[in-house]
C-alpha cells in the first residue's frame, strides 16, 4: 500500500512539474516609435564622447543594446534636418547604466533584505553653428531614471526590466530634449 501511494505521488509530481511555464518575451526597443525633432540645419554631426568605465556596477557590456547604442541610433534616425544653413553638433557626454546592490528598507519578514537598483544617466550637449562657424545657440540635456528589482530573478526578467528602463529613460530624454530645444533653439525648430 505504501509503495503504491509513493508511486502515485511521484507520478503526480512528475505530471505537475511538466506543466508549461509562462515565459515573458523581452520588450523590444523600437526607435521608430519615439518622437522626432526637426531642426533648421544643413548638417548634423554626432559625437560619442562618452567612454564607459569598466567597473563592478557598470553593466553596459552585459546587455544586448547599451544606452549609448540606443541614444546614438535615436539621434541618427529621429533628428531631422531641414534647410540649407547651420550645423548642429550633438555631443553625447554620458550614457551610462549602473546596477547597484542596495538595502531593501521596506522589506517584510520573508522578503529579500537586499535588492538591485538599476540607474540610467544621459548627458548630451547640443550646439548650433551658422555657416561661418559662429555658435548661435546651445543647450545641455540631462536625464536620470532608475528602478529596482529583486536580487534573485531570471536572466529573462532582468532583460525585461532593463529594456523597460531604457524605453522610459529614452522617453524622459526626448521630452527634456524637446523642452530644452524649444527654450534655447526655438527659432530653428521645425513644426
SS3 assignment, position 95: strand
Question: What is residue 58's predicted lDDT score, i.e. its pLDDT?
Answer: 87
- For residues 43 and 87, the answer to whether their CB atoms sit within 8 Å is yes
Q: Where are the domains of the chain?
A: 36-188
Question: In angstroms, rounded to a whole number, what is the distance separating the alpha carbons of residues 95 and 145?
Answer: 11
pLDDT at residue 17 is higher than 70: no
Per-residue model confidence (pLDDT) at position 36: 95
Q: Is the pLDDT of residue 107 over 90?
A: no
For residue 56, the model assigns a pLDDT of: 83
Q: What confidence score (pLDDT) does residue 51 get? A: 85
Q: Render pLDDT for 82-103 as a digit per residue (tens, 0 to 9).
A: 989 999 999 999 999 999 998 8
pLDDT of residue 28 exceeding 90, the answer is no
Counting DSSP H helices and E strands in the chain, the numbers are 3, 6
Residue 11 pLDDT: 64
Backbone angles phi, psi at 114, to 5 degrees: -125, 145
The average confidence (pLDDT) of the chain is 87
CATH T-level fold of 36-188: Double Stranded RNA Binding Domain (3.30.160)
What letter would DSSP give residue 124?
Answer: E
- pTM of this prediction? 0.83
Q: What is the pLDDT of residues 118-140, one digit of tens each?
A: 999 999 999 999 999 999 999 99
55-67: b or e for each residue (b if 16 or more CB lie within 10 Å)?
eeeebbeebeebb
Among 16-25, 59-68, 150-159, the minimum mean pLDDT is found in 16-25
pLDDT category at 170 given cuts 50, 70, 90 is: very high
Cα–Cα distance, 63 to 70 (Å, whole number): 12
Average the pLDDT over 151-169 and give the result: 90
- Note whether 102 and 112 are within 8 A (CB): no
Amino acid at each position: 500500500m505504501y509503495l503504491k501511494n509513493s508511486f502515485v505521488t511521484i507520478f503526480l509530481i512528475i505530471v505537475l512539474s511538466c506543466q508549461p511555464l509562462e515565459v515573458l518575451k523581452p520588450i523590444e526597443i523600437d526607435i521608430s516609435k519615439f518622437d522626432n525633432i526637426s531642426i533648421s540645419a544643413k548638417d548634423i554631426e554626432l559625437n560619442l564622447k562618452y567612454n564607459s568605465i569598466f567597473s563592478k556596477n557598470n553593466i553596459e557590456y552585459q546587455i544586448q543594446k547599451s544606452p549609448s547604442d540606443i541614444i546614438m541610433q535615436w539621434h541618427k534616425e529621429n533628428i531631422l534636418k531641414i534647410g540649407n544653413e547651420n550645423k548642429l553638433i550633438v555631443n553625447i557626454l554620458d550614457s551610462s547604466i549602473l546596477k547597484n546592490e542596495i538595502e531593501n528598507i521596506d522589506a517584510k519578514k520573508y522578503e529579500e533584505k537586499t535588492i538591485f537598483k538599476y540607474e540610467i544617466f544621459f548627458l548630451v550637449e547640443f550646439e548650433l553653428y551658422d555657416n561661418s562657424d559662429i555658435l548661435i545657440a546651445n543647450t545641455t540635456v540631462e536625464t536620470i531614471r532608475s528602478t529596482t528589482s529583486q536580487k534573485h530573478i531570471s536572466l529573462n526578467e532582468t532583460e525585461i526590466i532593463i529594456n523597460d528602463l531604457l524605453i522610459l529613460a529614452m522617453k524622459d530624454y526626448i521630452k527634456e530634449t524637446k523642452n530644452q530645444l524649444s527654450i534655447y533653439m526655438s527659432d530653428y525648430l521645425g513644426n
